[in-house]
């Protein structure tokens, strides 16, 4: 009667909610990233230790404290992407980008990462590091 019964009230979706839904689907997982392992993966495997570990730790911690329910590998990728996108780091990271792309592809094939995270990583690195 008068719309008071029978309808569930839903909280309004924010842009962040919509982004999380686009990445992880209608039922996103709970937060599950291992911050320390993500830092190690981003620093050693994706960035080849070309960026200081404390800088990697700071970026990863900032991302980890947000609402996105990253897997450990998703968090490592998102952390590394922050550095790959920095104009002043492009020359430093040029030699790391190909191996990082291969590592991320491997994680994708092992279903350890969200496809949209992989696509975002690859699209950005292709645009920044493509041969001229």
Tell me whether residue 61 is in a domain: yes
Tell me whether residue 99 is in a domain: yes
Domain total of the chain: 1
pLDDT digits (tens, 9 = 90+) for 88-128: 999 999 999 999 999 999 999 999 999 999 999 999 999 99
Tell me whether residue 91 is in a domain: yes
How far apart are alpha carbons 7 and 3 in whole angstroms? Answer: 7
pLDDT digits (tens, 9 = 90+) for 37-57: 999 999 999 999 999 999 999
Tell me whether residue 9 is in a domain: no
Supply the pTM of this predicted model: 0.83
Tell me whether residue 23 is in a domain: no
Tell me whether residue 26 is in a domain: no
Tell me whether residue 44 is in a domain: yes
Query: Given pLDDT bands bounded at 50, 70 and 90, which one contains residue 12?
Result: low
Tell me whether residue 47 is in a domain: yes
Domain residues for the domain of 97 are: 31-129
């Amino acid at each position: 009667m008068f719309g008071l019964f029978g309808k569930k009230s839903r909280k309004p979706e924010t842009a962040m909610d919509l982004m999380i839904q686009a990445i992880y689907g209608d039922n996103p997982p709970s937060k599950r990233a291992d911050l320390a392992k993500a830092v190690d993966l981003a620093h050693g495997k994706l960035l080849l230790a070309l960026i200081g570990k404390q800088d990697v730790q700071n970026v990863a911690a900032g991302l980890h404290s947000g609402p996105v329910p990253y897997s450990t590998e998703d968090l490592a990728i998102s952390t590394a992407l922050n550095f790959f996108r920095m104009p002043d780091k492009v020359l430093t990271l040029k030699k790391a980008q190909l191996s990082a792309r291969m590592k991320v592809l491997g994680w994708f094939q092992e279903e350890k990462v969200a496809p949209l995270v992989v696509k975002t990583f690859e699209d950005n690195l292709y645009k920044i590091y493509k041969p001229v």
